[in-house]
Amino acid sequence: MIYFAADKDRYVGAISLGYGPDGKRTRRKVYGRTKQEVRDKLKALHQELNAAVVEYLHGAAGRGRLAT
């Protein structure tokens, strides 16, 4: 989701990461001067989060298979 925040004079992009233990939604936001800048930052954030999930599933020790 990308929107313009007039009070910050910037575009804002947000990614939902799910819900925390308190039931509130957890989000990460990125800011940029242009929509394209925000798209690029969101893409990089998606890649970073996907890499973290894959590392978690494969185990920090790098066992090379899904942790069970």
11-25 pLDDT, tens digit each: 999 999 889 999 999
- Return d(Cα 51, Cα 64) in angstroms, integer: 14
Mean residue pLDDT across the chain: 87
Number of domains, the chain: 1
Predicted confidence (pLDDT) at residue 4 exceeds the cutoff of 50: yes
68 Cβ neighbours under 8 A, 6+ residues apart: none
The answer as to whether 30 is a domain residue is yes
Residue given tokens 């001067």 in the structure block: 33
Q: Is residue 14 part of a domain?
A: yes
pLDDT digit string, tens, across residues 39-55: 999 999 999 988 887 77
Domain coverage including residue 53: 2-58
Instruction: Please indicate, yes or no, if residue 39 is contained in any of the structural domains.
Output: yes
In angstroms, the Cα distances linking 39 to 19, 24, 34 are: 23, 25, 9
Task: Please indicate, yes or no, if residue 64 is contained in any of the structural domains.
Answer: no
